[in-house]
């Protein structure tokens, strides 16, 4: 008896620990609590052969019925492994029965189901519920119950549907009992029909493969293929540029496009586009010849795009700030022979073209000056002719260029015009970067209806208050942004309520839209519609629009747009039951031609539509399901493709790049979610040893855009594997979610203070407390300046931000709190692990409102043996500390100089970032006066400017409240975490920002009015990111610093924005290593 109990226990423990939960799709437009029944008779021409099959196989009929049930559950759940409740013949509580549909034929599926049922029944007397409680399993084990004996009875609380079979008058009867708040009568009838269909398939061909056999009725199949298709819309028999030309003839003097203070009429835009088109034709552009357009987002950009279309070419957008290697790869893969560009956008382009002698460069202003005719070229362009190529991330390690045709582009433009209500005279805001496919409809849709395109400057987008002003002043009617930016806009509008009188519709795309954001939007702007737009680059952009005039109960992707068909299918492209999860695929005019010069990946993704002869079908990686009402719901991605911050990323491309780095044996990249639900990339790799901290980010940044470089890299001796010897991504994702894993040398906290600190760390870092050891480093566990502030607040100011910076190891910080170590006075905070200053000392001044922690990433990126890094913690900037006044810059400079001298630091390097450039310059001057060797001064993200503008900026800042400044900073990107602080602490940051900016502006304005003598003898390196709008004219203005220094040079990062020491620390470190004269200790 005891042996049997142990066997039962071991069996059920294995079943329960294996996990897995099979959900029944919800399908009822109007949920009403209750229970209902649906009954149907299995036709005798089906039931008879099933009885014969059961007899031939020597199994009960119950096993045949169970096989059909397993197939139905698999179809309803989208999973091959399913769990159902199983009611024993003598009644009692249903038992969990684990089933699989992996066996290929009905016969093998049936035998597998029989074996599973036999095992369950042989252990049926064990108290399974007691074991579940013992194992701490609180979730219901199943939602569907299989009742082969037709025992019947009430539905348990967690049961959604019960499928019972019984014999009545010699007929096999199926009875389905279901909850009416989950399923409606039609859905219950469909589920019963799926069971009967599965049984019919078994009866007809027990040895047939069941994987490709459909369970849907003819009526449901027709509804999915036709009833859920987008509405039919006749398209004009003309191309987009021809419709624009028609508008030019109708109202030539209407304004077509605006950028800053410049505006072009329809006539001017058309004339310039025509001259550019003729310049391209004169250089031999042929039908479907690829033309890259490399410009900033200015008025020449729409002229260039229209020119390519008018000349019969193919538009290939490339951002000017992409790395040269990526530009070269893109041009090569696309077979591009011509590049349209402009002065100021050619830095990395010229580097790329050095390796591509067959690609010609055409400067736009030079083409304008060639005196070509400005009438329409009239080049014939067919509907199925290629219109554009957008490159997206590729899983094989190279980007892939999606080709879309004119008809698909035009269909999408009219979908936007129709669903967003765009009409004559209305303004469309153009906000997206050129590499986003959404940028194209923003650029040209208004031109088809006599509207206007407003190109919004990047520096305006970075300042949410200015952005809202621009929307109002520009009379924008239609706007599209990513949800994360809309969140910032909503916060701004809540703080500063105002009318948006012309705005009719806001579209969001690129990220998952959350219900909470829609509620907040309609709370501040109840009369402006919100449109959730969904689609892929390969499908001519958006295929679904969900138009909302109020906050919905559930965020959906909406219906298919005109002339587009969307199916939800299984791996065989067979439509799955309504409400069931499946792969989202697309058919119709929207589907593009394939990937440029990439037949293999084209073959995998672009297929013939099996349901419509002659139509193309695109199979992406998104997973979704239909909801009642014919709207699509997005469930996520089933492959390794993800979207982060609106960027579509193929994990495989990053992994292939990672594997090419010497010293990396194996690697995997996963997506982790921070406490604020924002997503980021985390890389794991194995190899002989861990590589230096800056090696991997720097190597990946050479060929990948910034948004594709993981934010963290973790070394392991070996990566975890699944039973199939594949990398176990689920395990890695769990590890990444903790930001860092428990190390082999883990030491648990010892003292009460260490335990108290560990609990506080766990709270602010989002890491389980039992994963935090006494030797853990706060910033290695994912700590930031904001989380350090939160830690100080959580500990009721037992520690300050300075304390956390100077004592980042938990045990050391606990010793400080207990009084076992002393607080060191001073402004300089060491950030390097070693105090060795033989390699020199880099002293960093933070940007306005910042703190010493802002330079932690840069300090980590510098290799051992390099300069010791110190950062200045400015008085009054620790928002978690007791009230401390801000200090005048002169006092800060004198104290820093005294500390440098007192510490005996030599071979000094100074870094001043943004407003921090002012105290860095003044410190260099004072050190020079005291005879201290300053080897170099780095001025990050700062140009000298002119005195008048700096004094005007002082006036503007003094007129703003602390709260207004904080709101602007939160939207600008460098202070995105401000929203997590309460109003008082956020306003403190605003006040610190004003103090620092005003001090810097006043310092530089005075120096501009009265240049100092002598100049700095130390060389100055101006460090900028090419995509930072605040230093956009750096190629021409960086030499302005020669007013203050004898020697000035420039170091340009490909990208990284204004706060690149944090966003691109490895690149910033390279600036230090390359420009500084560092000598090994003798």
Q: Are 128 and 96 in contact (CB under 8 A)?
A: yes
Q: What is the DSSP letter of 636?
A: E
Tokens in use for 570?
């299984």
- Phi then psi for residue 384, to 5 deg, are -95, 15
Q: Are 704 and 768 in contact (CB under 8 A)?
A: no
Residue 871 pLDDT exceeds 60: yes
Q: What is the mean pLDDT of residues 48-72?
A: 96
- Distance of alpha carbon 372 from its chain centroid, rounded? 44
| More confident site: 433 or 386 | 386
Q: Are 1027 and 1055 in contact (CB under 8 A)?
A: yes
**How large is the C-alpha radius of gyration of the chain?**
33
Kindly report, as residue ranges, where domains of CATH 3.30.300.30 are found in the chain: 641-737
Q: What is the mean pLDDT of residues 781-788?
A: 71
Q: Are 592 and 640 in contact (CB under 8 A)?
A: no
Element (H, E) at 651: helix 651-659
- Distance of alpha carbon 352 from its chain centroid, rounded? 28
pLDDT band of residue 286 (cuts 50, 70, 90) is: very high
* Calpha distance 715→684 (Å, rounded): 6
Kindly report, as residue ranges, where domains of CATH 3.40.50.1820 are found in the chain: 826-943+1012-1075
Q: What is the mean pLDDT of residues 606-615?
A: 95
Residue 838 pLDDT exceeds 70: no
Q: Which of 544, 531, 553 lies closest to 584, judged by CA?
A: 544
Tokens in use for 359?
């690609």
1036 by Cβ neighbours in 10 Å (0-12 / 13-18 / 19+) ranks as: exposed
The sheet carrying 476-481 orders its strands as: 262-265, 255-259, 452-455, 427-430, 476-481, 505-508, 529-536, 541-548, 559-560
* Calpha distance 450→266 (Å, rounded): 9
Q: Are 110 and 100 in contact (CB under 8 A)?
A: no
What is the 3-state secondary structure of 325-383? HHHHHHHHHHCCCEEEECCCCCHHHHHHHCCCCCCEEEEHHHHHCCCCCCCCCCCCCCC
Q: What is the DSSP letter of 550?
A: S
pLDDT band of residue 742 (cuts 50, 70, 90) is: very low
Residue position matching structure tokens 């938990």: 810
Q: What is the mean pLDDT of residues 253-272?
A: 97
Beta bridge partners of 712: 682
Fold of 740-824: 1.10.1200
pLDDT band of residue 777 (cuts 50, 70, 90) is: confident
Kindly report, as residue ranges, where domains of CATH 1.10.1200.10 are found in the chain: 740-824
Q: What is the mean pLDDT of residues 468-497?
A: 91
Q: Which of 844, 1021, 1016, 1051 lies closest to 933, judged by CA?
A: 1016
Highest-pLDDT range among 330-334, 803-807, 982-986: 330-334
- Dihedral over alpha carbons 890, 896, 899, 901 (to 10 degrees): -80
Element (H, E) at 559: strand 559-560
Per-chain mean pLDDT for the chain: 88
Q: Are 121 and 2 in contact (CB under 8 A)?
A: no
Residue 41 pLDDT exceeds 70: yes
Q: Which of 481, 484, 485, 477 lies closest to 420, judged by CA?
A: 477
Alpha-helical (H) ranges within 496-609 are 515-524, 599-605
Residues in the chain: 1082
Residue 591 pLDDT exceeds 80: yes
Q: What is the pLDDT of residue 448?
A: 98
Largest CA distance in the chain: 111
Q: In percent, how much of the chain has pLDDT > 90?
A: 55
pLDDT band of residue 723 (cuts 50, 70, 90) is: very low
How many other C-beta atoms are found inside a 10 Å radius of the C-beta of residue 960?
16
Residue 717 pLDDT exceeds 50: yes
pLDDT band of residue 933 (cuts 50, 70, 90) is: confident
pLDDT band of residue 719 (cuts 50, 70, 90) is: confident
Q: What is the pLDDT of residues 352-363, one digit of tens each?
A: 999 999 899 999
Q: Which of 301, 291, 361 lies closest to 330, judged by CA?
A: 291
User: What's domain 826-943+1012-1075's superfamily in CATH?
Assistant: Alpha/Beta hydrolase fold, catalytic domain (3.40.50.1820)
How many other C-beta atoms are found inside a 10 Å radius of the C-beta of residue 230?
21
Residue 903: which residues within 8 A CB-CB, separation 6 or more? 828, 837
- CATH 3.30.559.30 correct for 2-215: yes
Q: What is the pLDDT of residues 96-142, one digit of tens each?
A: 999 999 999 999 999 999 999 999 999 999 999 898 888 777 777 89
What CATH code would you report for 641-737?
Answer: 3.30.300.30
Residue 960: which residues within 8 A CB-CB, separation 6 or more? 968, 994
Kindly report, as residue ranges, where domains of CATH 3.30.559.30 are found in the chain: 2-215
Q: What is the pLDDT of residues 208-223, one digit of tens each?
A: 999 999 999 999 999 9
């Amino acid at each position: 008896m005891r042996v049997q109990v142990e066997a039962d226990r071991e069996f059920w423990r294995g079943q329960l620990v294996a996990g897995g939960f099979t959900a029944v799709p919800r399908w009822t437009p109007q949920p009403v609590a209750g229970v209902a029944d649906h009954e149907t008779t299995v036709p005798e021409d089906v039931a008879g052969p099933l009885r014969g099959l059961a007899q031939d196989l020597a199994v009960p009929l119950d096993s045949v019925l169970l096989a059909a049930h397993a197939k139905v559950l698999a179809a309803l759940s989208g999973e091959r492994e399913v769990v159902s409740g199983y009611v024993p013949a003598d009644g009692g509580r249903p038992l969990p029965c684990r089933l699989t549909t992996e066996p290929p034929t009905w016969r093998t599926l049936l035998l597998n189901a029989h074996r599973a049922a036999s095992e369950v029944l042989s252990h049926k007397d064990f108290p399974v519920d007691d074991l579940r409680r013992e194992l701490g399993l609180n979730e219901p084990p199943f939602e569907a119950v299989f009742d082969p004996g037709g025992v019947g009875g009430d539905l348990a609380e967690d049961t959604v549907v019960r499928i019972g079979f019984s014999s009545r008058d010699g007929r096999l009867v199926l009875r389905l009992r279901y909850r009416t708040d989950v399923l409606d009568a039609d859905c219950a009838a469909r589920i019963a029909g799926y069971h009967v269909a599965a049984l019919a398939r078994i009866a007809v061909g027990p040895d047939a493969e069941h994987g490709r056999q459909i369970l849907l009725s003819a009526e449901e199949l027709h509804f999915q293929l036709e009833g859920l298709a987008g509405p039919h819309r006749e398209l004009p028999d003309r191309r987009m540029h021809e419709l624009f030309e028609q508008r030019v003839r109708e109202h030539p003097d209407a304004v077509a496009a605006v950028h800053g203070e410049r505006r072009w009429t329809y006539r001017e835009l058309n004339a310039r586009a025509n001259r550019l088109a003729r310049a391209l034709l004169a250089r031999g552009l042929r039908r479907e010849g690829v033309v890259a357009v490399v410009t900033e987002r200015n008025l020449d950009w729409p002229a260039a795009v229209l020119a390519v279309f008018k000349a019969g070419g193919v538009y290939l957008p490339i951002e000017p700030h992409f790395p040269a290697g990526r530009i070269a790869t893109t041009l090569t893969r696309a077979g591009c022979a011509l590049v349209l560009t402009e002065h100021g956008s050619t830095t990395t382009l010229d580097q790329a073209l050095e390796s591509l002698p067959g690609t010609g460069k055409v400067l736009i202003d030079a083409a304008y000056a060639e005196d070509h005719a400005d009438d329409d070229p009239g080049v014939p362009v067919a509907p199925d002719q290629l219109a554009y190529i957008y490159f997206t991330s590729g899983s094989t390690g190279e980007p892939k260029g999606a080709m879309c045709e004119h008809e698909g582009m035009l269909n999408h433009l009219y979908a936007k015009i129709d669903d967003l209500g765009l009409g004559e005279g209305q303004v469309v805001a153009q906000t997206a970067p050129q590499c986003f496919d959404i940028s194209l409809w923003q650029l040209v849709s208004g031109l088809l209806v006599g509207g206007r395109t407003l190109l919004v400057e990047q520096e305006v987008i970075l300042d949410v208050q200015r952005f809202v002003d621009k929307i109002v002043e520009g009379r924008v009617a239609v706007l599209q942004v990513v949800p994360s930016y809309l969140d910032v806009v909503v916060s701004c509008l809540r703080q500063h309520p105002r009318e948006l009188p012309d705005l009719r519709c806001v579209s969001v795309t690129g990220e998952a839209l959350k219900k909470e954001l829609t509620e907040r939007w309609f709370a501040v702007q109840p009369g402006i519609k919100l449109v959730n737009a969904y689609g892929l680059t390969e499908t001519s952009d958006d295929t679904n629009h969900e138009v909302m005039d109020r906050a919905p109960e559930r965020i959906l992707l909406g219906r298919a747009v005109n002339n587009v068909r969307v199916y939800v299918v299984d791996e065989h492209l067979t439509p799955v039951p309504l409400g069931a999860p499946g792969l989202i695929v697309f058919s119709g005019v929207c589907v593009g031609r394939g990937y440029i010069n990439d037949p293999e990946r084209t073959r995998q993704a672009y297929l013939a539509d099996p349901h419509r002869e002659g139509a193309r079908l695109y199979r992406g990686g998104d997973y979704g399901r239909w909801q009642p009402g014919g709207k699509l719901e997005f469930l996520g991605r089933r492959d390794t493709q993800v979207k982060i911050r609106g960027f579509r990323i193929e994990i495989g491309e990053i992994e292939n790049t990672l594997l090419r780095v010497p010293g990396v044996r194996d690697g995997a990249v996963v997506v982790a979610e921070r406490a604020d639900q924002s997503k980021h990339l985390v890389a794991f790799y194995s190899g002989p040893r861990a590589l230096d901290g800056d090696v991997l980010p720097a190597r990946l940044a050479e060929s990948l855009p910034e948004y594709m470089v993981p934010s963290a890299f973790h070394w392991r001796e070996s990566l975890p594997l699944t039973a199939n010897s594949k990398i176990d991504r689920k395990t890695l994702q769990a590890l990444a979610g903790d930001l860092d894993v428990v190390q082999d040398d883990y030491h648990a906290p010892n003292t009460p203070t260490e335990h108290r600190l560990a609990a506080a760390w766990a709270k602010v870092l989002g890491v389980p407390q039992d994963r935090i050891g006494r030797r853990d480093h706060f910033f290695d566990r994912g700590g930031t300046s904001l989380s350090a502030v939160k830690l100080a607040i959580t500990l009721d100011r037992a520690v300050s931000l300075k304390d956390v910076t100077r004592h980042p190891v938990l045990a050391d910080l606990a010793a400080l709190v207990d009084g076992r170590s002393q607080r060191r006075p001073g402004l300089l905070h060491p950030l390097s692990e070693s105090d060795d200053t033989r390699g020199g000392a880099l002293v960093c001044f933070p940007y306005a409102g910042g703190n010493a922690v802002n330079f932690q990433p840069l300090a980590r990126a510098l290799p051992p043996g390099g300069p010791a890094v110190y950062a200045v913690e400015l008085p009054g900037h620790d928002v978690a500390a007791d009230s401390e006044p801000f200090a005048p810059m002169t006092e800060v400079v004198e104290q820093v100089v005294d500390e440098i001298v007192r510490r005996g630091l030599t071979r000094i390097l100074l870094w001043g970032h943004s407003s921090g450039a002012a105290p860095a310059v003044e410190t260099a001057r004072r050190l020079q006066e005291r005879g201290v060797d300053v080897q170099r001064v780095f001025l990050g993200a700062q140009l000298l400017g002119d005195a008048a503008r700096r004094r005007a900026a002082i006036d503007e800042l003094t007129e703003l409240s602390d709260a207004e400044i904080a709101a602007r900073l939160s939207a600008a990107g460098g202070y995105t975490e401000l929203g997590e602080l309460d109003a008082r602490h956020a306003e403190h940051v605003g006040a610190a920002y004003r103090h620092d900016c005003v001090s810097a502006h006043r310092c530089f304005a005075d120096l501009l009015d009265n240049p100092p003598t002598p100049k700095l003898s130390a060389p100055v390196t101006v460090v900028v990111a090419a995509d930072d709008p605040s230093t956009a004219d750096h190629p021409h203005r960086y030499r302005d610093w020669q007013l203050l220094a004898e020697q000035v040079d420039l170091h340009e990062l490909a990208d990284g924005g204004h706060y690149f020491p944090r966003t691109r620390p490895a690149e910033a470190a390279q600036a230090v290593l390359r420009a500084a004269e560092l000598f090994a200790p003798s």
